[in-house]
Amino acid sequence: MTLQTDNLVPKLLPLVVAAMLAVLVACGGQETTPDVASPTAAPATATATATPRPSPTPMAMLPTQTPAPRLSPTPAPAVEITAQSEFTEQVYATLEELTEQYSPRESATDQELEAALHLQERLSDLGYDTSIQDFSVNLLSAGVDLDSSTGDSSNSPRAIPISMSLHGAATGLLADAGRAYAEDIPAEGMEGRIALIERGVITFEEKVGRAADAGAVGAVVYNNLEGLFRGTLASESSIPAVAVSQSDGQRLLALLEQGETEATVSVRATESPSRNVIADKPGTDGEGRTVIIGAHYDTVANTEGASDNGSGVATVLTLAGHMADRDFPFDVRIILFGSEEIGLLGSQHYVANMSAEEIDDTIAMLNFDAFGSGTTLQASGDPELIAAASESAREFGLDLGRFSEEEWAGLGGASDHGPFRLAGIPVMFLISDDLSRINSPEDEIRHINPDLLGIATEIGIHMLDWLTGQN
Catalytic residues: 340
Distance CA 448, CA 311 (A): 8
Q: 371 with 311: CB under 8 angstroms?
A: yes
Q: Is 426 helix (H, G, I), strand (E, B) or coil?
A: coil
Q: What are phi and psi of 264, to 5 degrees?
A: -115, 120
232-256 burial, b if ≥16 CB within 10 A, otherwise e? bbeeebebbbbbbbbebbebbeebb
Helices (H), 199-336: 204-213, 246-258, 312-323
Q: Are 186 and 203 a contacting pair, CB within 8 Å?
A: no
Q: Which runs of E-coded beta strand occur in 23-112?
A: 49-50
Please state whether beta strands 331-337 and 218-222 pair in parallel, antiparallel, or not at all (unpaired): unpaired
- C-beta of residue 396 within 8 angstroms of C-beta of residue 420: no
Question: How much helix, strand and coil, in percent to the nearest 5, is found in the chain?
Answer: 30, 25, 45
| Separation of alpha carbons 440 and 144, rounded Å | 25
Q: For residue 427, list its beta bridge partners.
A: 365
Report helix, strand or coil for 470: helix
Are the C-beta atoms of 202 and 222 separated by less than 8 Å? no
- In angstroms, the CA 347 to CA 297 distance is 12
* Torsion over CA: 62, 336, 309, 430 (sign): positive
